[in-house]
Structure 1
Amino acid sequence: MLVEKVDQMMEWSSRRSVIRMNGDKFRRFVKAPPRNYSVIVMFTALQPQRQCSVCRQANEEYQVLANSWRYSSAFCNKLFFTVVDYDEGADVFQQVTVWIYPSTPPSNRPPLRSLHPQSPHFHVHSCLSASIRVFRPPNYSGTIALALLVSLVGGLLYLRRNNLEFIYNKTGWAMAALCVVFAMTSGQMWNHIRGPPYAHKNPQNGQVSYIHGSSQAQFVAESHIILLLNAAITMGMVLLNEAATSKGDVGKRRRPKCCTAAFLLYLLVNW
């Protein structure tokens, strides 16, 4: 019986670093004796209808830890990483009295709240006397994006090597500078670092919130709104400046620009 359980766990682990379990598998391979191996279990909710963005982030970090163990030289049949999804094993949540997810609660310890793989690493070391060296896979997306950008700019300059007057185009440089300013002032860098959701839907009444209630956080939709407001302010000021400095027929050139600028600024004031 024990040999069959270990062989089955090793077979699943060879296919996937994190073994997915339902209620039957959990009771047979984790709770039921005999068992001479240790099991790390993450309780989570990964189905899209649960709208748990933190669960996806925690699952990615949990995968990093499991892969580090699976491909390390110390890998053996004494430790396995598993996951129980609420929609696949709600009875397991009731059995172990876990109602906070994502979590990896060992015995007599509180649920794990950190999303960094070093935190479950310390849980493993302190509870099971097993040390795992975390290896995070390299991310080449930034290098590839930079190489593509350099190649694109280099190819453009090569194709237009006989006519490089566009480099001295003030309007183009101004538009590029404004795009950078809009992106930075609207919080796009914060979104890139923190990875917030686009909006929040209240599960009780279904109301969607695009503005975060705290001054310490924001949604992606909120940064888009700020970006559009900043762009509208800039457009209104540019139109007012052009209307003031333009020459020629006043009715044909200045009046439409002034009206458009006044309309934009009026909308921003009332917002």
Structure 2
Amino acid sequence: MASCTYRWHPRPTTTATTHRKMRFSILTTAIAVGASALFSIASASDAHIAKFDALAAKHKGLIDLDDQLYNEITSGPRSYSVAVLLTATAPQFSCNMCREIDPEYALVASSLQKANKGKKFFDPSEKVYLTRLDFLNGKSIFQRLQLTTAPNIYIFHPTTGDLAKTNPDEPTVHDMLHAGPTADAIVRFLSSTLKRSPITLVRPLNYAKIVTTVFALLATLTALKLSYRYLIPIIQSKRLWTGITLFLVLLFVSGHMFNQIRKTPYVVPDGNGGVSYIAGGFQNQFGMETQIVMVVYGVLAFSTVALAIQAPRMLAPQRQSVAIWVWTGVILLMFSFLMHVQKLNKDEQNTGLSSILMTFYTKNTWD
């Protein structure tokens, strides 16, 4: 009798199959929702960047903000940097620095736009927008930032990308008082803060200045042409050049270059309601002291020349004798005064002009 063998194949239950399908469906839905969210965020970011690019292109690289646009460009995830000039240019605020920095900031924005023209940013965090918010258009922003002075430049760093900061909501503030309201200072601040190469400033041609310079040059050449025959005797005058040479020699010998290098004061208060003309010590001097010494040197030079050249040419013996005594007395007086000034320097005490003359008169009268 033949035997029959039966093989039993277990079939999955309906419950297990249903669970696997549900898990697959949930996983598929989660992936789809995540991808959709990422796509929405990327689309929103691209839309924002396209909007800001259009605004920058429309206004030569500078975006003017209001409360809403400020919040839009500085809040939320951003893959770019934002520089905001917070200013107050209205006449009622009398902000001179605001009016000074406004064209300089606009120059930096236009130069940045020209530098980025046709450039593709492989890392979006390298992109930077230059914006401007006036107080009249953003009072609530000024109140939120607790600003009481203007102008200010804030830089908001990217929240994503290679250049993202750990705390991007804390802006970097430009030190306007020390750096100054110039385009060069703004470029240095942007370069050091954003770690990018300096922006090459492209200044527009000042046609008014060019025309004025050309007309001034033509007028000068015309005047020289018309007055040529009158100027030649003056230019060739030996006495003129002798006088100029002597003046320059006396000026530099008396310490003029020392004043220019050390930026010495002209005079200083003496503490008694007056001023001091002579500085104490040989390592210091005042501007007025230089002029006093220059006059003394000039009188001494003129007296020496008169005594050596003019006096011997006098034919009358009496006039010659008087001239010799007069110029000798002037030389003696001026040298004495010069030595007195040197002694005051040695005493290392600042001295006023009245004290100089009084002590000089007293010592030469009673000593």
TM-score normalised according to structure 1 size: 0.52
Query: What is the Cα deviation at residue 70 of structure 1?
Result: 0.7
Q: Is the 8 A contact 1:121 1:131 kept in 2?
A: no
In terms of fraction of residues, the more helix-rich structure is: 2
SS across alignment from 2:83? strand
| 2:190 is aligned with 1:124 | yes
Task: Look up the match of 1:12.
Answer: 55
Query: What is the Cα deviation at residue 57 of structure 1?
Result: 0.7
SS across alignment from 2:153? coil
Alpha-carbon distance change, 91 to 28 in structure 1, aligned in 2, over 3 angstroms = same
Identity %: 20
Residues 244-263 of structure 1 mapped to structure 2, 5 A cutoff: none
Distance 1:123 1:97 in 2: 22
Task: Look up the match of 1:23.
Answer: 67
Distance 2:172 2:56 in 1: 26
Query: What is the Cα deviation at residue 73 of structure 1?
Result: 4.4
Alpha-carbon distance change, 63 to 129 in structure 1, aligned in 2, over 3 angstroms = same
| 2:167 is aligned with 1:104 | no
Residues 155-174 of structure 1 mapped to structure 2, 5 A cutoff: none
SS across alignment from 1:80? strand
Q: Is the 8 A contact 1:112 1:120 kept in 2?
A: no
Distance 1:69 1:61 in 2: 12
Structure 2: give runs of 5+ residues left out of the alignment. Answer: 1-43, 156-169, 231-367
Task: Look up the match of 1:39.
Answer: 82
Distance 2:173 2:99 in 1: 20
SS across alignment from 2:89? coil
Letter of the structure 2 residue corresponding to residue 146 of structure 1: T
Q: Is the 8 A contact 1:64 1:134 kept in 2?
A: no
Task: Look up the match of 1:226.
Answer: none
Q: Is the 8 A contact 1:45 1:55 kept in 2?
A: yes
Q: Is the 8 A contact 2:65 2:132 kept in 1?
A: yes
Moved more, 69-78 or 126-135: 69-78
Could you report, residue by residue, the CA deviation over 1:48-71 in whole angstroms, capped at 9, with x for unpaired residues?
222212101111111121111110
Q: 1:143 aligns with which of 189, 210, 214?
A: 210
SS across alignment from 2:82? strand
Alpha-carbon distance change, 141 to 26 in structure 1, aligned in 2, over 3 angstroms = same
Q: Is the 8 A contact 2:191 2:199 kept in 1?
A: no
TM-score normalised according to structure 2 size: 0.39
Letter of the structure 2 residue corresponding to residue 25 of structure 1: L
Query: What is the Cα deviation at residue 91 of structure 1?
Result: 0.7
